[in-house]
Amino acid sequence: MADRAALEEAVRLQGERVRGLKQQKAGADLIEEEVSKLLKLKAELGPDEGKQKFVLKTPKGTRDYSPKQMAVREKVFDVIISCFKRHGAEVIDTPVFELKETLTGKYGEDSKLIYDLKDQGGELLALRYDLTVPFARYLAMNKLTNIKRYHIAKVYRRDNPAMTRGRYREFYQCDFDIAGQFDPMIPDAECLKIICEILSALQLGDFQIKVNDRRILDGMFNICGVPDSKFRTICSSVDKLDKMSWEDVKNEMVEEKGLAPEVADHIGAYVKQHGGVSLVDQLLQDPKLSQNKQALEGLGDLKLLFEYLTLFGITEKISFDLSLARGLDYYTGVIYEAVLLQTPARQGEEPLGVGSVAAGGRYDGLVGMFDPKGRKVPCVGLSIGVERIFSIVEQRMEASEEKVRTTETQVLVAAAQKKLLEERLKLVAELWDRGIKAEILYKRNPKLLTQLQYCEETGIPLVAIIGEQELKDGVVKLRSVASREEVDVRKENLVEEIRRQTSQHPFHLLN
């Protein structure tokens, strides 16, 4: 054992020597010689079979969720799902992995973030990157031309995670999509209304939805002199304007992507503009842009969209923003992204965006990519960024030190004396059978104080107490944990009384 310890120390010292030489930029021959010595020492040391090699941790970019965190999640999901259902959506599910060729070529520069899986018996597979491409595959495979659906599931991206800001490698997406041939902008307007309803219901603070159209972007690139072959890659650069300055984005376009500086300056003059329907009217009069067929179609549709958004009463939340690009390749028309706004520091300043919490757009060509005959099914949809929403809600709850209930138990069945386990078990079974959420402590003779403390710790609002006298009288003592008031209730009326009292104090979380 002593010999092994000496060897381990020699390996450690030699490792430090090699690192030191590398830092000092020593000669290659000397470094090679010292590395060779280190490898010999390691070979001599051999593996330590008795030593535990693995570290207990979740993989990079993933996390576990505690009961408290899951309670927050469930409430957020309830708000989202109830909104999707209110708008008449059906629900589907698809496999967590797809054939690699299904996903390849749909995400532009983000394709490098797809998780490939090892060959499993002749099929090259990859974990799904989003829920939109699997949905398009589902439509084409089942020859569907008309569906309004929602889908909530995990997706996977080989990204560099920033977990404090709600960015992960494994995360949930909540998607709502309308597929089918309909009159222009009616489904698109409903998607924007849904985003407004969900973000308002979650009470996350003020928000703004940026809107643009891929056809306007493409028309703009065309008149500015961007070569056709560079449209998508320049679009990807413009999409970074919410995270980078114009100078940095211009530098990327010119230095990395080979765009002429004067072309980049032309783009800059357009993408810095944002406003409402008046900006649409202004661009319709633009001498260059109004001559481009694609841009003209996009501007015409946006004008119509603003009419419908006015009828829905949500135009104050919408901003037509020419810098919005959405980097994904499959968008063909209207695109949008919702951002939460920080309160401005000084009066007169514009509110600052603190990150995207929802996004989407129109993708009329994606289903046709999968159909053998290339038949297109027009689609428009949205995705709610629930991970960022969870992070915001969790941070706020921690800051307010608000206690979060992790169960929905309405009543604890307790005993005031010993030897009443059988009676407790009978009563709790009756309550379960009648649909009451009830618990007991798993002890034969728990102290009454212990049972009451358990209710206070877990937030259970009521205690149904049985004792020998109550059993004789055919009653149960129902105690409010908060007010400590007690009332004798006939056993046959107990369920009704529990429902009455807990309906006054429902299970709340996001108030």
Task: Give the C-alpha separation, 341 to 208, whole Å.
Answer: 7
Q: In what order do the strands lie in the sheet with 334-342?
A: 90-91, 147-156, 170-179, 379-384, 352-362, 334-342, 207-213, 318-321, 274-275
Distance CA 368, CA 388 (A): 32
| CA pair distance 242, 490, nearest whole angstrom | 64
Which residue positions form the known binding site for L-histidine?
A: 130-132, 157, 173, 177, 326, 330-331
**Is the separation of the CB atoms in 211 and 336 below 8 Å?**
yes
Contact residues for 377 (Cβ-Cβ < 8 A; gap 6+) = 139, 140, 144, 145, 179, 180, 181, 367, 368
Helix, strand, coil tally for the chain in percent (to 5): 50, 20, 35
Distances (CA, A) of 256 to 114, 222, 251, 260, 499: 23, 20, 7, 11, 66
Ramachandran class of 88: left when φ > 0, alpha when ψ lies in -120 to 50, beta otherwise? left
Closest residue by Cα to residue 85 from 198, 199, 249: 198
Neighbour count for residue 220 (Cβ, 10 Å):
26
Q: Which residues are annotated as a binding site?
A: 130-132, 157, 173, 177, 326, 330-331
Angstrom CA distances, 274 to 281, 307, 322, 323, stand at 12, 18, 6, 8
Per-residue HEC secondary structure of 157-177 comes to: CCCCCCHHHCCCCEEEEEEEE
CA angle 179, 181, 186 (to 5 degrees): 80
Instruction: Give yes or no for a contact between 496 and 436, defined as CB atoms under 8 angstroms apart.
Output: no
Nearest CA among 511, 425, 506, 421 for reference residue 462: 506
For residue 392, what are its two tokens?
A: 């915001």
Tell me the C-alpha distance between 361 and 191, whole Å: 9
Residue 409 per-residue DSSP state? -
Helix (H) or strand (E) holding 418: none
Helix (H, G, I), strand (E, B) or coil at 339: strand
Name the phi and psi angles at 174, rounded to 5.
Answer: -120, 105
Q: What angle do CA 209, 280, 385 make, to 5 degrees?
A: 15
Residue 361 in contact with residue 326, Cβ under 8 Å? yes
Q: Are 175 and 131 in contact (CB under 8 A)?
A: yes
